Amino acid sequence: MDATTIRSLGLDPALRHGALVEGVFDFNDKVNLVETHIVASWETKGRTRGVLHAESTSTEIMDFCNWLVAQVAQRPYLQGVPIGVDWHPMSVFWGNRKAGLKLTFMMGYLCRALQTVGNPVIFIEPEEVRVAFGHSRGLSKDEVWESIPFYSDAVDPDERDALILAYLVAEGMRKVG
């Protein structure tokens, strides 16, 4: 990759569904999404209990996180690649409090494990995404998707969100580097 091409990761996590996506961006003239790959994704259909849920044990959560970290660790080209993670520290108070506590445990365990294998974690709150694209904090998710400066054929909302996080990380690396 040349100096204008940046590889980054984005993680849109939840207990019942989520995605970890790799994006390669070229910032030569304008931002161009060169390639994207789904590193991992998980989804629960309908009203079933889910991959993880409010009743998941700590061991089940750790096993899932270990699987997710292994998806990154087994790809040598992702070693050291920063990961933008959709996380707000007040998430514990949204919706089901018990599920919020499990998600908080999951995020702490997962992000520490990712850093341990060499992938820096950058937390990006949902409001920060909107502001980064010049929008008000109250803009809908669909309106944010329509405003992104690159094209992606990702139709899954978790994959789109993860790709946007990867882009923001790459944009930050471009500005620093």
pLDDT along the chain (177 residues), means of 10: 84 91 89 90 72 88 96 96 88 70 92 96 88 80 76 77 93 78
pLDDT at 95: 64
pLDDT at 91: 61
Count of other CB atoms within 10 angstroms of residue 13? 24
CB 27 within 8 A of CB 35: no
Count of other CB atoms within 10 angstroms of residue 97? 11
Q: How many CA atoms lie within 13 A of 120 on its CB side?
A: 11
The per-residue DSSP string of 83-116 comes to EEEE--GGGGGSS-HHHHHHHHHHHHHHHHHHHH
pTM for the full predicted model:
0.89
pLDDT at 148: 77
pLDDT at 33: 87
Give the count of domains, the chain: 1
Find the CATH number of the domain harbouring 37. Answer: 3.30.420.10
Host domain of residue 36: 5-176
pLDDT at 53: 83
pLDDT at 142: 79
Q: Which residues contact 135 (CB under 8 A, 6 or more apart)?
A: 143, 144, 147
Q: In 3-state terms, what secondary structure has residue 173?
A: helix
pLDDT at 87: 85
pLDDT at 145: 78
pLDDT at 16: 85
pLDDT at 152: 64
pLDDT at 151: 61
33 burial (CB, 10 Å; 0-12 / 13-18 / 19+) is buried
